[in-house]
Protein backbone atom coordinates (compact mmCIF):
# COMPACT_ATOMS: atom_id res chain seq x y z
CA UNK A 1 0.00 0.00 0.00
CA UNK A 2 1.38 3.40 -0.98
CA UNK A 3 0.77 6.49 1.16
CA UNK A 4 -2.98 6.81 0.89
CA UNK A 5 -4.94 10.03 0.58
CA UNK A 6 -8.05 8.64 2.28
CA UNK A 7 -9.30 7.45 5.66
CA UNK A 8 -11.64 4.63 6.71
CA UNK A 9 -14.92 5.64 8.38
CA UNK A 10 -17.98 3.62 9.40
CA UNK A 11 -21.73 4.20 9.36
CA UNK A 12 -24.94 2.17 9.24
CA UNK A 13 -25.59 2.81 5.55
CA UNK A 14 -22.22 1.79 4.05
CA UNK A 15 -20.52 -0.08 6.88
CA UNK A 16 -16.84 0.74 6.33
CA UNK A 17 -16.19 3.36 3.63
CA UNK A 18 -13.43 5.71 2.46
CA UNK A 19 -13.26 9.51 2.51
CA UNK A 20 -10.59 11.76 0.98
CA UNK A 21 -8.25 13.21 3.61
CA UNK A 22 -7.03 16.00 1.29
CA UNK A 23 -8.26 17.89 -1.76
CA UNK A 24 -7.61 15.77 -4.84
CA UNK A 25 -7.18 16.79 -8.48
CA UNK A 26 -8.71 14.76 -11.32
CA UNK A 27 -6.29 11.96 -12.18
CA UNK A 28 -4.45 12.14 -8.85
CA UNK A 29 -3.38 8.80 -7.37
CA UNK A 30 -5.26 8.12 -4.10
CA UNK A 31 -3.85 4.68 -3.23
CA UNK A 32 -2.55 1.42 -4.64
CA UNK A 33 -3.44 -2.01 -3.29
CA UNK A 34 -2.02 -5.49 -3.90
CA UNK A 35 -4.51 -8.35 -4.19
CA UNK A 36 -4.86 -10.81 -1.33
CA UNK A 37 -5.69 -13.41 -3.96
CA UNK A 38 -6.44 -13.66 -7.68
CA UNK A 39 -7.60 -16.45 -9.97
CA UNK A 40 -10.36 -17.71 -12.28
CA UNK A 41 -13.94 -16.55 -11.81
CA UNK A 42 -16.73 -19.04 -11.17
CA UNK A 43 -18.20 -20.62 -14.32
CA UNK A 44 -14.96 -19.95 -16.19
CA UNK A 45 -14.06 -22.08 -19.22
CA UNK A 46 -10.83 -24.07 -18.84
CA UNK A 47 -7.94 -21.61 -18.91
CA UNK A 48 -4.28 -21.49 -18.06
CA UNK A 49 -3.93 -21.31 -14.29
CA UNK A 50 -0.78 -19.22 -14.70
CA UNK A 51 -1.85 -16.43 -17.09
CA UNK A 52 -5.62 -17.07 -17.58
CA UNK A 53 -5.29 -17.40 -21.36
CA UNK A 54 -7.34 -20.00 -23.29
CA UNK A 55 -5.89 -23.51 -23.43
CA UNK A 56 -6.87 -26.61 -25.35
CA UNK A 57 -5.92 -29.88 -23.70
CA UNK A 58 -2.53 -28.60 -22.46
CA UNK A 59 -1.82 -29.77 -18.92
CA UNK A 60 0.73 -29.15 -16.18
CA UNK A 61 3.28 -32.00 -16.24
CA UNK A 62 3.19 -32.19 -12.45
CA UNK A 63 -0.48 -31.89 -11.41
CA UNK A 64 -2.38 -32.46 -14.66
CA UNK A 65 -4.41 -29.21 -14.55
CA UNK A 66 -4.68 -26.67 -17.44
CA UNK A 67 -1.51 -24.69 -18.12
CA UNK A 68 -0.25 -23.11 -21.34
CA UNK A 69 3.55 -23.08 -21.01
CA UNK A 70 6.56 -24.10 -18.96
CA UNK A 71 6.78 -20.53 -17.59
CA UNK A 72 3.17 -20.65 -16.37
CA UNK A 73 3.77 -24.10 -14.88
CA UNK A 74 6.40 -22.49 -12.65
CA UNK A 75 4.30 -19.39 -11.84
CA UNK A 76 4.00 -18.88 -8.05
CA UNK A 77 0.21 -18.52 -8.25
CA UNK A 78 -0.11 -21.96 -9.90
CA UNK A 79 2.27 -23.63 -7.43
CA UNK A 80 -0.41 -23.27 -4.71
CA UNK A 81 -2.95 -25.62 -6.28
CA UNK A 82 -0.26 -27.65 -8.04
CA UNK A 83 1.20 -28.75 -4.69
CA UNK A 84 -2.25 -29.69 -3.35
CA UNK A 85 -3.44 -31.57 -6.45
CA UNK A 86 -0.12 -33.38 -6.95
CA UNK A 87 -0.06 -34.62 -3.35
CA UNK A 88 -3.52 -36.23 -3.60
CA UNK A 89 -3.29 -37.12 -7.33
CA UNK A 90 -6.49 -35.21 -8.20
CA UNK A 91 -6.29 -34.43 -11.90
CA UNK A 92 -8.38 -32.23 -14.18
CA UNK A 93 -11.02 -34.34 -15.93
CA UNK A 94 -11.01 -34.07 -19.76
CA UNK A 95 -13.78 -31.95 -21.31
CA UNK A 96 -15.39 -32.14 -24.75
CA UNK A 97 -15.62 -28.38 -25.33
CA UNK A 98 -12.82 -26.14 -24.04
CA UNK A 99 -14.87 -22.96 -24.62
CA UNK A 100 -17.77 -23.66 -22.24
CA UNK A 101 -17.74 -23.06 -18.45
CA UNK A 102 -16.05 -25.80 -16.42
CA UNK A 103 -17.16 -26.14 -12.77
CA UNK A 104 -13.84 -27.89 -12.08
CA UNK A 105 -12.11 -24.49 -11.96
CA UNK A 106 -14.53 -23.07 -9.34
CA UNK A 107 -12.26 -24.34 -6.56
CA UNK A 108 -9.04 -22.65 -7.70
CA UNK A 109 -9.42 -19.10 -6.33
CA UNK A 110 -10.99 -20.26 -3.00
CA UNK A 111 -8.07 -22.70 -2.58
CA UNK A 112 -5.57 -19.92 -3.28
CA UNK A 113 -7.28 -17.73 -0.66
CA UNK A 114 -7.16 -20.52 1.96
CA UNK A 115 -3.43 -21.02 1.37
CA UNK A 116 -2.84 -17.24 1.41
CA UNK A 117 -4.59 -17.11 4.80
CA UNK A 118 -2.13 -19.71 6.13
CA UNK A 119 0.85 -17.86 4.65
CA UNK A 120 -0.19 -14.38 5.87
CA UNK A 121 -2.53 -14.80 8.87
CA UNK A 122 -1.89 -11.22 10.04
CA UNK A 123 -3.10 -9.69 6.77
CA UNK A 124 -6.09 -12.05 6.76
CA UNK A 125 -7.02 -10.99 10.30
CA UNK A 126 -6.45 -7.31 9.60
CA UNK A 127 -8.06 -6.98 6.16
CA UNK A 128 -10.25 -9.97 5.26
CA UNK A 129 -11.73 -11.34 8.48
CA UNK A 130 -14.01 -8.28 8.67
CA UNK A 131 -15.29 -8.55 5.07
CA UNK A 132 -18.98 -9.03 4.39
CA UNK A 133 -20.00 -12.49 3.10
CA UNK A 134 -23.84 -12.43 3.19
CA UNK A 135 -23.82 -16.15 3.99
CA UNK A 136 -27.46 -16.19 5.11
CA UNK A 137 -28.70 -14.68 1.84
CA UNK A 138 -26.34 -16.79 -0.29
CA UNK A 139 -27.74 -20.01 1.23
CA UNK A 140 -31.05 -19.24 -0.51
CA UNK A 141 -29.41 -18.88 -3.93
CA UNK A 142 -29.23 -21.71 -6.50
CA UNK A 143 -25.43 -21.24 -6.58
CA UNK A 144 -25.11 -22.40 -2.95
CA UNK A 145 -25.55 -26.11 -3.79
CA UNK A 146 -23.05 -25.92 -6.65
CA UNK A 147 -20.59 -24.18 -4.31
CA UNK A 148 -20.98 -26.95 -1.72
CA UNK A 149 -20.24 -29.60 -4.37
CA UNK A 150 -17.59 -27.91 -6.52
CA UNK A 151 -15.67 -26.09 -3.78
CA UNK A 152 -16.41 -27.15 -0.19
CA UNK A 153 -16.82 -30.90 -0.72
CA UNK A 154 -14.16 -31.06 -3.44
CA UNK A 155 -11.46 -29.32 -1.38
CA UNK A 156 -12.23 -30.88 2.00
CA UNK A 157 -12.92 -34.45 0.86
CA UNK A 158 -11.44 -35.13 -2.59
CA UNK A 159 -8.35 -33.01 -1.92
CA UNK A 160 -8.16 -34.21 1.70
CA UNK A 161 -7.93 -30.71 3.19
CA UNK A 162 -10.56 -31.33 5.89
CA UNK A 163 -7.87 -31.48 8.60
CA UNK A 164 -6.51 -28.04 7.60
CA UNK A 165 -9.71 -26.09 6.90
CA UNK A 166 -13.28 -26.19 8.22
CA UNK A 167 -16.35 -26.11 5.97
CA UNK A 168 -17.33 -22.79 7.63
CA UNK A 169 -14.00 -21.25 6.63
CA UNK A 170 -14.31 -22.48 3.02
CA UNK A 171 -17.85 -21.07 2.87
CA UNK A 172 -16.56 -17.75 4.28
CA UNK A 173 -13.85 -17.63 1.62
CA UNK A 174 -16.46 -18.29 -1.10
CA UNK A 175 -18.59 -15.49 0.35
CA UNK A 176 -15.69 -13.01 0.43
CA UNK A 177 -15.01 -13.76 -3.23
CA UNK A 178 -18.68 -13.57 -4.26
CA UNK A 179 -19.30 -10.23 -2.57
CA UNK A 180 -15.92 -8.44 -2.75
CA UNK A 181 -13.93 -9.67 -5.77
CA UNK A 182 -13.21 -7.29 -8.66
CA UNK A 183 -12.93 -8.46 -12.25
CA UNK A 184 -9.44 -8.36 -13.76
CA UNK A 185 -9.46 -7.34 -17.45
CA UNK A 186 -8.62 -10.13 -19.87
CA UNK A 187 -5.28 -10.30 -21.68
CA UNK A 188 -6.76 -11.85 -24.77
CA UNK A 189 -8.00 -14.73 -22.67
CA UNK A 190 -10.79 -15.04 -20.14
CA UNK A 191 -11.46 -12.58 -17.36
CA UNK A 192 -10.36 -13.52 -13.87
CA UNK A 193 -10.97 -11.82 -10.53
CA UNK A 194 -9.12 -10.64 -7.44
CA UNK A 195 -9.80 -9.41 -3.92
CA UNK A 196 -8.34 -5.99 -3.07
CA UNK A 197 -9.10 -5.45 0.63
CA UNK A 198 -8.75 -1.67 0.55
CA UNK A 199 -10.59 -1.17 -2.74
CA UNK A 200 -13.43 -3.35 -1.37
CA UNK A 201 -14.12 -0.73 1.33
CA UNK A 202 -15.13 1.95 -1.21
CA UNK A 203 -18.83 2.84 -1.23
CA UNK A 204 -20.90 2.28 -4.36
CA UNK A 205 -22.69 4.87 -6.47
CA UNK A 206 -23.90 4.54 -10.07
CA UNK A 207 -22.16 7.92 -10.58
CA UNK A 208 -18.63 7.32 -9.33
CA UNK A 209 -15.91 9.86 -8.52
CA UNK A 210 -12.92 7.46 -8.62
CA UNK A 211 -11.50 5.10 -11.26
CA UNK A 212 -9.27 2.05 -10.89
CA UNK A 213 -6.61 0.48 -13.09
CA UNK A 214 -5.20 -3.03 -12.65
CA UNK A 215 -1.57 -3.49 -13.73
CA UNK A 216 -0.62 -6.69 -15.55
CA UNK A 217 2.79 -7.33 -14.03
CA UNK A 218 1.75 -7.89 -10.40
CA UNK A 219 -2.04 -7.27 -10.45
CA UNK A 220 -1.68 -4.15 -8.30
CA UNK A 221 -4.67 -1.82 -8.47
CA UNK A 222 -4.20 1.95 -8.74
CA UNK A 223 -7.11 4.11 -7.61
CA UNK A 224 -7.33 7.70 -8.86
CA UNK A 225 -9.71 10.62 -8.59
CA UNK A 226 -11.88 10.79 -11.72
CA UNK A 227 -12.97 14.35 -10.88
CA UNK A 228 -11.71 16.96 -8.37
CA UNK A 229 -12.59 15.66 -4.88
CA UNK A 230 -12.68 17.75 -1.69
CA UNK A 231 -11.21 16.61 1.65
CA UNK A 232 -13.97 14.80 3.56
CA UNK A 233 -15.85 13.70 0.41
CA UNK A 234 -16.86 10.02 0.23
CA UNK A 235 -15.00 8.01 -2.43
CA UNK A 236 -17.51 6.29 -4.72
CA UNK A 237 -16.77 3.40 -7.08
CA UNK A 238 -19.45 2.01 -9.40
CA UNK A 239 -19.85 -1.76 -9.04
CA UNK A 240 -21.92 -1.94 -12.25
CA UNK A 241 -21.53 -1.17 -15.95
CA UNK A 242 -21.97 2.56 -16.54
CA UNK A 243 -24.16 2.19 -19.63
CA UNK A 244 -26.62 -0.32 -18.11
CA UNK A 245 -30.18 0.93 -17.45
CA UNK A 246 -31.39 1.39 -13.87
CA UNK A 247 -33.54 -1.75 -13.70
CA UNK A 248 -30.56 -3.88 -14.87
CA UNK A 249 -28.04 -2.21 -12.54
CA UNK A 250 -30.28 -2.55 -9.48
CA UNK A 251 -31.04 -6.22 -10.19
CA UNK A 252 -27.33 -6.95 -10.61
CA UNK A 253 -26.44 -5.16 -7.34
CA UNK A 254 -29.15 -6.98 -5.40
CA UNK A 255 -28.18 -10.35 -6.90
CA UNK A 256 -24.41 -10.06 -6.56
CA UNK A 257 -23.79 -7.45 -3.83
CA UNK A 258 -26.98 -7.96 -1.76
CA UNK A 259 -28.16 -4.36 -1.52
CA UNK A 260 -30.76 -2.13 -3.15
CA UNK A 261 -29.05 0.88 -4.71
CA UNK A 262 -30.75 4.18 -3.92
CA UNK A 263 -28.15 6.55 -5.40
CA UNK A 264 -29.21 9.81 -7.08
CA UNK A 265 -29.07 8.21 -10.53
CA UNK A 266 -31.22 5.21 -9.56
CA UNK A 267 -33.72 7.45 -7.78
CA UNK A 268 -34.33 9.57 -10.90
CA UNK A 269 -36.49 7.89 -13.62
CA UNK A 270 -34.75 10.09 -16.24
CA UNK A 271 -31.30 8.89 -15.01
CA UNK A 272 -30.18 12.49 -14.36
CA UNK A 273 -31.63 13.62 -17.69
CA UNK A 274 -29.72 11.08 -19.80
CA UNK A 275 -32.85 8.96 -20.48
CA UNK A 276 -30.79 5.75 -20.47
CA UNK A 277 -33.92 3.86 -19.34
CA UNK A 278 -36.57 5.79 -21.30
CA UNK A 279 -38.72 4.28 -24.07
CA UNK A 280 -40.73 6.00 -26.78
CA UNK A 281 -44.51 5.59 -26.53
CA UNK A 282 -45.94 3.60 -29.44
CA UNK A 283 -49.50 4.75 -28.66
CA UNK A 284 -48.91 8.50 -28.86
CA UNK A 285 -46.39 10.96 -30.29
CA UNK A 286 -46.20 13.29 -27.31
CA UNK A 287 -45.05 11.12 -24.38
CA UNK A 288 -42.24 8.83 -23.36
CA UNK A 289 -42.43 5.77 -21.10
CA UNK A 290 -40.67 5.82 -17.72
CA UNK A 291 -40.95 4.04 -14.39
CA UNK A 292 -43.21 5.79 -11.89
CA UNK A 293 -40.81 4.66 -9.12
CA UNK A 294 -37.34 3.74 -10.30
CA UNK A 295 -36.38 2.50 -6.79
CA UNK A 296 -38.97 -0.30 -7.15
CA UNK A 297 -38.10 -2.80 -9.89
CA UNK A 298 -41.71 -4.00 -9.93
CA UNK A 299 -43.21 -0.51 -10.26
CA UNK A 300 -45.49 0.37 -13.15
CA UNK A 301 -44.14 2.12 -16.24
CA UNK A 302 -46.35 4.88 -17.67
CA UNK A 303 -46.50 7.24 -20.64
CA UNK A 304 -45.75 10.81 -19.53
CA UNK A 305 -48.67 12.09 -21.63
CA UNK A 306 -51.61 11.89 -19.22
CA UNK A 307 -54.11 11.73 -22.13
CA UNK A 308 -52.42 8.60 -23.51
CA UNK A 309 -52.79 6.33 -20.48
CA UNK A 310 -50.34 3.68 -21.72
CA UNK A 311 -48.84 1.58 -18.92
CA UNK A 312 -46.85 -1.63 -18.54
CA UNK A 313 -45.27 -3.59 -15.69
CA UNK A 314 -41.71 -3.75 -14.40
CA UNK A 315 -41.74 -7.50 -15.14
CA UNK A 316 -42.70 -6.87 -18.79
CA UNK A 317 -39.92 -4.27 -19.04
CA UNK A 318 -37.31 -6.70 -17.67
CA UNK A 319 -38.47 -9.43 -20.07
CA UNK A 320 -38.25 -7.10 -23.07
CA UNK A 321 -34.76 -5.87 -22.06
CA UNK A 322 -33.57 -9.48 -21.64
CA UNK A 323 -34.80 -10.44 -25.13
CA UNK A 324 -33.20 -7.40 -26.77
CA UNK A 325 -29.98 -7.81 -24.74
CA UNK A 326 -29.71 -11.33 -26.22
CA UNK A 327 -29.72 -9.68 -29.67
CA UNK A 328 -26.97 -7.28 -28.56
CA UNK A 329 -24.93 -10.25 -27.25
CA UNK A 330 -25.19 -11.85 -30.72
CA UNK A 331 -23.95 -8.62 -32.29
CA UNK A 332 -21.04 -8.55 -29.82
CA UNK A 333 -20.08 -12.10 -30.86
CA UNK A 334 -19.52 -10.99 -34.48
CA UNK A 335 -15.95 -10.71 -35.72
CA UNK A 336 -14.95 -7.09 -36.47
CA UNK A 337 -15.77 -6.56 -40.14
CA UNK A 338 -18.30 -4.99 -42.53
CA UNK A 339 -21.07 -7.25 -41.19
CA UNK A 340 -20.42 -6.09 -37.62
CA UNK A 341 -21.13 -2.49 -38.68
CA UNK A 342 -24.06 -3.22 -41.00
CA UNK A 343 -25.91 -5.45 -38.54
CA UNK A 344 -25.53 -2.89 -35.75
CA UNK A 345 -26.87 -0.12 -37.97
CA UNK A 346 -29.81 -2.40 -38.86
CA UNK A 347 -30.37 -3.02 -35.12
CA UNK A 348 -30.48 0.74 -34.40
CA UNK A 349 -32.90 1.24 -37.29
CA UNK A 350 -35.09 -1.60 -36.00
CA UNK A 351 -35.38 -0.21 -32.47
CA UNK A 352 -35.19 3.57 -32.99
CA UNK A 353 -39.00 3.80 -32.71
CA UNK A 354 -38.95 1.75 -29.47
CA UNK A 355 -36.19 3.42 -27.43
CA UNK A 356 -35.23 6.98 -26.60
CA UNK A 357 -32.18 7.86 -28.81
CA UNK A 358 -30.00 7.83 -25.67
CA UNK A 359 -31.43 4.61 -24.20
CA UNK A 360 -28.64 2.40 -22.88
CA UNK A 361 -29.35 -0.38 -25.41
CA UNK A 362 -28.91 1.97 -28.37
CA UNK A 363 -26.06 3.90 -26.74
CA UNK A 364 -24.05 0.71 -26.09
CA UNK A 365 -24.41 -0.27 -29.76
CA UNK A 366 -23.44 3.26 -30.84
CA UNK A 367 -20.37 3.11 -28.56
CA UNK A 368 -19.21 -0.06 -30.36
CA UNK A 369 -20.04 1.41 -33.78
CA UNK A 370 -17.99 4.51 -32.95
CA UNK A 371 -15.02 2.17 -32.41
CA UNK A 372 -15.68 0.06 -35.54
CA UNK A 373 -16.11 2.90 -38.07
CA UNK A 374 -12.66 3.63 -39.45
CA UNK A 375 -11.18 0.31 -38.30
CA UNK A 376 -12.65 -2.50 -40.41
CA UNK A 377 -12.36 -3.62 -44.03
CA UNK A 378 -14.50 -1.48 -46.33
CA UNK A 379 -14.86 1.13 -43.60
CA UNK A 380 -11.27 2.25 -42.96
CA UNK A 381 -10.94 5.89 -41.93
CA UNK A 382 -9.55 7.05 -45.29
CA UNK A 383 -12.37 5.23 -47.13
CA UNK A 384 -15.23 6.78 -45.16
CA UNK A 385 -17.27 9.41 -47.03
CA UNK A 386 -18.03 12.64 -45.17
CA UNK A 387 -21.51 11.36 -44.29
CA UNK A 388 -20.04 8.37 -42.40
CA UNK A 389 -17.33 10.51 -40.81
CA UNK A 390 -20.12 12.77 -39.51
CA UNK A 391 -21.99 9.66 -38.27
CA UNK A 392 -18.93 8.61 -36.27
CA UNK A 393 -18.57 12.14 -34.84
CA UNK A 394 -22.25 12.20 -33.88
CA UNK A 395 -22.00 8.86 -32.03
CA UNK A 396 -18.77 9.83 -30.21
CA UNK A 397 -20.27 13.13 -29.07
CA UNK A 398 -23.49 11.45 -27.89
CA UNK A 399 -21.52 8.94 -25.78
CA UNK A 400 -19.23 11.65 -24.38
CA UNK A 401 -22.17 13.90 -23.48
CA UNK A 402 -23.77 10.99 -21.58
CA UNK A 403 -20.51 10.03 -19.85
CA UNK A 404 -20.16 13.62 -18.60
CA UNK A 405 -23.22 12.91 -16.43
CA UNK A 406 -23.07 9.19 -15.50
CA UNK A 407 -19.30 8.62 -15.53
CA UNK A 408 -17.86 12.11 -15.08
CA UNK A 409 -14.19 12.92 -15.35
CA UNK A 410 -11.18 10.94 -16.50
CA UNK A 411 -12.46 7.43 -17.20
CA UNK A 412 -11.18 4.79 -19.63
CA UNK A 413 -14.41 5.05 -21.64
CA UNK A 414 -13.96 8.80 -22.00
CA UNK A 415 -10.34 8.36 -23.11
CA UNK A 416 -11.33 5.78 -25.74
CA UNK A 417 -14.19 7.90 -27.12
CA UNK A 418 -11.98 10.99 -27.33
CA UNK A 419 -9.45 8.96 -29.30
CA UNK A 420 -12.20 7.75 -31.66
CA UNK A 421 -13.48 11.32 -32.09
CA UNK A 422 -10.17 12.83 -33.18
CA UNK A 423 -9.83 11.00 -36.53
CA UNK A 424 -13.19 11.88 -38.19
CA UNK A 425 -12.81 15.51 -37.04
CA UNK A 426 -9.35 15.62 -38.63
CA UNK A 427 -10.46 14.01 -41.90
CA UNK A 428 -13.56 16.23 -42.21
CA UNK A 429 -11.42 19.36 -41.74
CA UNK A 430 -8.84 18.19 -44.31
CA UNK A 431 -11.57 17.22 -46.79
CA UNK A 432 -13.10 20.70 -46.49
CA UNK A 433 -9.66 22.26 -47.08
CA UNK A 434 -8.97 20.01 -50.09
CA UNK A 435 -12.36 20.93 -51.58
CA UNK A 436 -11.57 24.63 -51.15
CA UNK A 437 -14.44 25.16 -48.69
CA UNK A 438 -12.15 26.50 -45.96
CA UNK A 439 -8.85 28.40 -46.05
CA UNK A 440 -5.58 27.37 -44.39
CA UNK A 441 -6.21 29.47 -41.27
CA UNK A 442 -9.64 27.87 -40.81
CA UNK A 443 -8.07 24.43 -41.24
CA UNK A 444 -5.58 25.25 -38.46
CA UNK A 445 -8.48 26.36 -36.29
CA UNK A 446 -10.53 23.22 -36.98
CA UNK A 447 -7.57 20.93 -36.20
CA UNK A 448 -7.36 22.32 -32.65
CA UNK A 449 -10.27 20.14 -31.49
CA UNK A 450 -8.77 16.79 -32.66
CA UNK A 451 -5.47 17.92 -31.10
CA UNK A 452 -7.27 18.49 -27.77
CA UNK A 453 -9.00 15.10 -28.09
CA UNK A 454 -5.64 13.36 -28.56
CA UNK A 455 -4.02 15.25 -25.68
CA UNK A 456 -6.82 14.33 -23.26
CA UNK A 457 -7.05 10.71 -24.52
CA UNK A 458 -3.27 10.29 -24.10
CA UNK A 459 -3.34 11.78 -20.58
CA UNK A 460 -6.13 9.44 -19.44
CA UNK A 461 -5.13 6.23 -21.23
CA UNK A 462 -1.39 6.39 -20.57
CA UNK A 463 -2.24 5.68 -16.91
CA UNK A 464 -3.43 2.22 -17.98
CA UNK A 465 -1.11 -0.77 -18.17
CA UNK A 466 1.03 -0.31 -21.32
CA UNK A 467 0.17 -3.88 -22.46
CA UNK A 468 -3.59 -3.33 -22.13
CA UNK A 469 -5.68 -2.29 -25.18
CA UNK A 470 -6.34 1.09 -23.53
CA UNK A 471 -2.67 1.58 -22.64
CA UNK A 472 -1.63 0.81 -26.24
CA UNK A 473 -4.21 3.33 -27.55
CA UNK A 474 -2.89 5.86 -25.00
CA UNK A 475 0.61 5.63 -26.46
CA UNK A 476 -0.73 5.82 -30.03
CA UNK A 477 -2.76 8.90 -29.04
CA UNK A 478 0.37 10.57 -27.67
CA UNK A 479 2.36 9.84 -30.86
CA UNK A 480 -0.54 11.03 -33.05
CA UNK A 481 -0.77 14.22 -31.00
CA UNK A 482 2.94 14.94 -31.54
CA UNK A 483 2.59 14.25 -35.30
CA UNK A 484 -0.44 16.57 -35.53
CA UNK A 485 1.46 19.31 -33.68
CA UNK A 486 4.28 19.02 -36.24
CA UNK A 487 1.77 19.15 -39.12
CA UNK A 488 0.19 22.30 -37.66
CA UNK A 489 3.62 23.92 -37.32
CA UNK A 490 4.31 23.38 -41.04
CA UNK A 491 0.91 24.70 -42.21
- Which structural domain range is residue 221 located in? 1-34+196-238
What is residue 54's predicted lDDT score, i.e. its pLDDT? 87
User: Are residues 163 and 47 located together in one domain of the fold?
Assistant: yes
User: Are residues 299 and 351 located together in one domain of the fold?
Assistant: yes
What is residue 191's predicted lDDT score, i.e. its pLDDT? 74
CA distances from 333 to 119, 264, 340 (A): 42, 34, 9
User: Are residues 349 and 397 located together in one domain of the fold?
Assistant: no
User: Are residues 11 and 89 located together in one domain of the fold?
Assistant: no
User: Are residues 281 and 381 located together in one domain of the fold?
Assistant: no
Residue 190 lies in a domain: no
For the chain, 491 residues long, give each residue's pLDDT as a single digit of tens.
556 899 999 998 888 999 999 999 999 999 999 999 999 998 888 999 998 988 888 999 999 999 999 999 999 999 999 999 999 999 999 888 888 889 999 999 999 999 999 999 999 999 999 999 999 999 998 889 999 999 999 999 999 999 999 999 999 999 999 999 999 887 666 779 999 999 999 999 999 999 999 998 889 999 999 999 999 999 999 999 999 999 999 999 999 999 999 999 999 999 999 999 999 998 888 899 999 999 999 999 999 998 998 999 999 999 999 999 999 999 999 999 999 999 999 999 999 999 999 999 999 999 999 999 999 999 999 999 999 999 999 999 999 999 999 999 999 999 999 999 999 999 999 999 999 999 999 999 999 999 999 999 999 999 999 999 999 999 999 999 999 999 998 87
User: Are residues 287 and 412 located together in one domain of the fold?
Assistant: no
Alpha helices in 181-231 (DSSP H): none
Residue 490 lies in a domain: yes
What is residue 405's predicted lDDT score, i.e. its pLDDT? 98
What is residue 135's predicted lDDT score, i.e. its pLDDT? 93
Q: Which among 127, 103, 116, 28 is positioned nearest to 77, based on CA atoms?
A: 116
Rounded to the nearest 10 degrees, the angle between the axes of helix 386-406 and helix 360-372 is 130
How many distinct structural domains can be found in the chain? Answer: 4
Residue 148 lies in a domain: yes
User: Are residues 343 and 301 located together in one domain of the fold?
Assistant: yes
User: Are residues 44 and 123 located together in one domain of the fold?
Assistant: yes
Residue 186 lies in a domain: no
What is residue 478's predicted lDDT score, i.e. its pLDDT? 98
Contacts of 324 (CB under 8 A, 6+ apart): 351, 361
Sign of CA dihedral 475, 419, 415, 193: negative
What is residue 217's predicted lDDT score, i.e. its pLDDT? 85
User: Are residues 433 and 451 located together in one domain of the fold?
Assistant: yes
Residue 381 lies in a domain: yes
First to last CA, the chain: 49
Q: How far apart are CA 177 and CA 438, in angstroms?
A: 59
What is residue 491's predicted lDDT score, i.e. its pLDDT? 79
Q: Which CATH number fits the domain that encloses residue 233?
A: 2.170.270.10
Q: What are phi and psi of 486, to 5 degrees?
A: -60, -40
User: Are residues 52 and 113 located together in one domain of the fold?
Assistant: yes
Contact 399, 363 (CB under 8 A): yes
Residue 362 lies in a domain: no
Residue 269 lies in a domain: yes
The pTM of the full predicted model, rounded to 2 decimals, is: 0.92
User: Are residues 256 and 316 located together in one domain of the fold?
Assistant: yes
User: Are residues 480 and 382 located together in one domain of the fold?
Assistant: yes
What is residue 187's predicted lDDT score, i.e. its pLDDT? 67
Q: How far apart are CA 192 and CA 52, in angstroms?
A: 7
Final residue of a domain: which of 170, 205, 238? 238
Residue 54 lies in a domain: yes
Amino acid sequence: MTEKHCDILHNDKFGRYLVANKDLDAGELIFTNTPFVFGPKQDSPPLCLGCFCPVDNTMCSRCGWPICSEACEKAPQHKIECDVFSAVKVRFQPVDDWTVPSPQLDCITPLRMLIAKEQDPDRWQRELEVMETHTKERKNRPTWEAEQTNVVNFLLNHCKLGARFSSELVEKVCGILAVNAVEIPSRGGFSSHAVYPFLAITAHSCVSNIVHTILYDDYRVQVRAAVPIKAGDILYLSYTHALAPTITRREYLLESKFFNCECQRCADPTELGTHLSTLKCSKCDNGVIMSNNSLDNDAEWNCTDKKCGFKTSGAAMRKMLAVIQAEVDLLDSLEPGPQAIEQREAFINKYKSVFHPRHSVLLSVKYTLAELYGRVEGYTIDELPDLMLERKVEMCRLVLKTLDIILPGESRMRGMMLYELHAPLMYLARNEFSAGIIAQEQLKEKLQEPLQCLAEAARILQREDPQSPEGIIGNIAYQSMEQLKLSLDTL
